[in-house]
Amino acid sequence: MPNHFFGTIYHCKKESIVLHVDGDDELIGTNVFKVFNWAYQKQKAGVVYSNFYYYNQPKLLRNGFTSIYTDD
């Protein structure tokens, strides 16, 4: 995590959209970056997070769903 943090702080422009993807992550679909860009540009989102799949190749073990983010 420190690498993500310091890399973002020191090497990205203030108006940049930063998407952290780890080595075991996979972005599914052809419009992933468009969706994230829309959220930041049009919805003025500060943070965007998504649902996930947990699988052990080739078997899908379960779908994961993130909980709703609240002000608390």
pLDDT score of 65 more than 70? no
pLDDT of residue 66: 65
Q: What is the pLDDT of residues 14-46, one digit of tens each?
A: 888 888 888 878 888 888 889 888 988 888 888
Q: What is the pLDDT of residues 49-59, one digit of tens each?
A: 777 777 676 77
Q: Which residues of 27-66 are buried (b: 16+ CB within 10 A; e: fewer)?
A: eeeeeeeeebeebbeeeeeeeeeeeeeeeeeeeeeeeeee
**Helix, strand, or coil (residue 59):** strand
Assess whether the previous peptide bond of 2 is cis (omega < 30° from 0). Answer: no
